[in-house]
Structure 1
Amino acid sequence: MNDASMSAEMTANLSKSLDFDQAAKPKVVAKDVNVFYGEKQALFDVSIDIVEKSVTAFIGPSGCGKSTFLRCINRMNDTIEGCVVKGGISLDGDDIYAPSLDVVELRARVGMVFQKPNPFPKSIYENVSYGPRIHGLARGKTELDEIVESSLKRAGLWEEVKDRLNEPGTGLSGGQQQRLCIARAIAVSPEVILMDEPCSALDPIATARIEELIDELRANFTIIIVTHSMQQAARVSQRTAFFHLGILVELGATEQIFTNPSDKRTQDYITGRFG
């Protein structure tokens, strides 16, 4: 990749980048978010609107704050000792850091898929049924069976596992495990799905399947994906946010970010000058 242009592969994968409505309703709104780990500040005044039923990619070099911000959206940073989040984040207008907010309910509305597939040490069926069961989403075994089947189908895994639902989820391949984790996340009918480098541990074939799945899921879910792969961001997202040194440098339509960024730091990153 040179300074004048992106790679041919990346350019060829930008055709879907502008198929979102600029006036679409924001699902998640962040305003002046600052995050501290003890004395160290990790994010500086991040403000961003995440459009509903679309894919927003967070890109930037390692340690730039993109995963930190992702974890703010379902309050996973609450589990880190010494982490302090300041500013506002709302989901459909509801302040997710309000003292009265039920964090368990929030995490049902905002699901998460991690970098490394992490199925529970339970059967495939129990991995998917666990959330609906504890949240009381099924009135009996028949409804639970329907949720499990529907979730596995939406995750593109049903045909591969329908005859071995009682086998351990940990016995699946890496790509299958990640799709199982996606099925587990969508089983509780979340509104937002956060994905923290979901393909970094997968081979190219499994990565392609997950990317296809992301494109299918955005019809029903708001998806935010952290990725180190600019090609992946170009393939799967409609909007891209570039983070650098804890600052949200630029947000825009994916095609615009990759072909005509407005900030020199973005241009330098996507052309390989740093990162």
Structure 2
Amino acid sequence: MNSMVQLDSATAIAAAAAVAGNPVKIVAQGVNVYYGEKHALRDVDLDIQERAVTALIGPSGCGKSTFLRCLNRMNDTIPACRVTGRIAMDDQDIYDPQLDVVQLRARVGMVFQKPNPFPKSIFENVAYGPRIHGLARNKAELEEIVAISLKRAGLFDEVKDRLGDSGTSLSGGQQQRLCIARAIAVSPEVILMDEPCSALDPIATAKIEELIDELRENFTIVIVTHSMQQAARVSQRTAFFHLGVLVEIGITSDIFTTPKDRRTQDYITGRFG
């Protein structure tokens, strides 16, 4: 088949090796999501491996962002939304009524499509989470957490002399890295990214993609993307959604070169989507 996305053999081998021995971090079983009468997700079974990037691809409205928001219960904020089935992280049901949702969202961070820094200083944007979760005993510890988070987000050298400036004064790409720094400052185990580069130029996108590749050494990452090229570059596993159904999940190189389902092949070769 003539795929739109080219993967060299070294990339394919590296991707397969990257996830071969990784344990499963999140298990979704029989997940259905309803928005009122609309059945948005149907019987999704999906394992997400630890310390790997899982890309969710598919046409607009196919359910990939809906599934992503299930993983930290963001759908709870939508009154008409109902979720059934089971999603467990480290064998704990995240929809258990006894579970503290605030703590869950500290463990499962979220980076949105459009950069959304708080109207506070760069320092306060990153310090906010650690402060409210009591992760620093004093000012020195808080400053250390902020510096480390900005370094991990690849932003520290660019902003170290203006931490008092507003986060909204940064460029779009810098704002998105600031939001990533804010997400990782509370030491999450999982980072969810909903089209994190769609509002960015190619240079800023490349920086975010490099950052994602570095972060997966310490975090489990799930990314929704409309760019199949991006999925091929940053992920080790790819899941293809269509009309609310998880059609196929597998090693990224396999999905793009030898998909098992005709619908996957039609999508990645541009026949629909």
Category of TM-score, reference length = shorter chain: over 0.9
Show the 5 A alignment for 1:199-238: 199-238=197-236
1:147 to 2:148 alignment = no
- State yes or no: 1:5 paired with 2:27: no
* Alignment check: 8 A CA contact 1:17 1:234 kept: no
- Deviation of 1:161 after TM superposition, in Å, equals 0.1
Which of 103, 114, 117 pairs up with 2:115? 117
SS of 1:183 mapped into structure 2? helix
What is the CA–CA distance in structure 1 between the aligned matches of 2:22 and 2:15, rounded to whole Å? 15
Matching residue's letter, 1:130: Y
Q: Note the alpha carbon deviations across 1:162-196, whole angstroms, 9 max, x for none.
A: 00000000000000000000000000000000000
Letter of the structure 1 residue corresponding to residue 43 of structure 2: D
Q: SS in structure 1 opposite 2:98?
A: coil
Give per-residue Cα distances to partners, 1:110-152, cap 9 Å, x unaligned: 0000000000000000000000000000000000000000000
- What secondary structure does 1:20 align onto? helix
| CA distance in structure 2 between the partners assigned to 1:251 and 1:45 by the alignment | 14
Partner of 1:182: 180
Counterpart residue identity of residue 6, structure 2: M
Query: TM-score, length-normalised on structure 1?
Result: 0.97
The runs of 5 or more residues in structure 1 that have no matched partner are none
User: How far did residue 103 of structure 1 move?
Assistant: 0.2
Alpha carbons 1:109, 1:189 under 8 Å: kept:
yes
Residue deviations 1:209-237, cap 9 Å, x none?
00000000000000000000000000000
| Match of residue 94 from structure 1 | 92
User: Residue 14 of structure 1 contacts residue 234 of structure 1 at CA under 8 Å; is this kept in 2?
Assistant: no
Matched residue SS, 2:19: coil
Query: In the alignment, which of 240, 243, 253 is matched to residue 242 of structure 1?
Result: 240
Q: Secondary structure at the match of 2:87?
A: strand
After TM superposition, what 4+ stretches of structure 1 lie above 6 angstroms from structure 2? Answer: none
Aligned residue type for 1:10: Q
Specify the SS of the correspondent of 1:84. strand
> Helix, strand or coil for the counterpart of 2:22?
coil
CA RMSD of aligned residues (A): 1.1
Identical residues among aligned pairs (%): 74
Q: Secondary structure at the match of 1:18?
A: helix
Distance 2:19 2:222 in 1: 17
Take 1:215 and 1:134, find their aligned partners in 2: how far apart are those partners?
29
For residue 70 of structure 1, what is the aligned residue in structure 2? 68
Quote the residue 1:169 is aligned against: 167
Q: State the Cα distance separating 1:5 from its structure 2 match.
A: 1.4
Structure 2: any 5+ residue segments left out of the alignment? none
Corresponding residue for residue 50 of structure 1: 48
Give the C-alpha shift of residue 24 in structure 1: 2.3
**Which amino acid in the other structure matches residue 145 of structure 1?**
E
Question: Which whole-Å CA distance do the structure 1 matches of 2:76 and 2:50 have between them?
Answer: 25
